[in-house]
Amino acid sequence: MLKCTVAVIVFALASAMPAFAQNTMMKCDDASMMKMQSDMDAMTDPAMKEKKEMASKEMKMAKDSMKAKKMDDCKMHMENAMKSMGKM
């Protein structure tokens, strides 16, 4: 019984680590903006047009927030853009 419980806890922690790592890697800087832009440019499938448009709108808001030095808003918009692209 104890082994099973420990195994479940280890599995849950291992599953959660990539999500935490992804959130800490999200930065509001020029390099991250360029990476996101190149990811959006790679979306050439016509079926992804709506996702790409939504991600583009979020990235524009992220860029505007970065210029205004509102880093929390910038990160939020970048995360929304990633979600729109299906990366999160």
25 pLDDT exceeds 50?
Answer: yes
pLDDT in tens, 11-20: 555 655 554 4
pLDDT (tens digit, 9 = 90+) per residue, 44-82?
Answer: 888 888 989 999 999 999 999 999 999 999 999 999 999
Rg (CA), the chain: 17
Report how far residue 82's alpha carbon sits from residue 28's, in angstroms, rounded to the nearest whole number.
13
pTM of the model: 0.66
What pLDDT is stored for residue 59 in this prediction?
93
Q: Secondary structure of 4-65 in the HEC alphabet?
A: HHHHHHHHHHHHHHHHHHHHHHCCCCHHHHHHHHHHHHCCCCHHHHHHHHHHHHHHHHHHHH
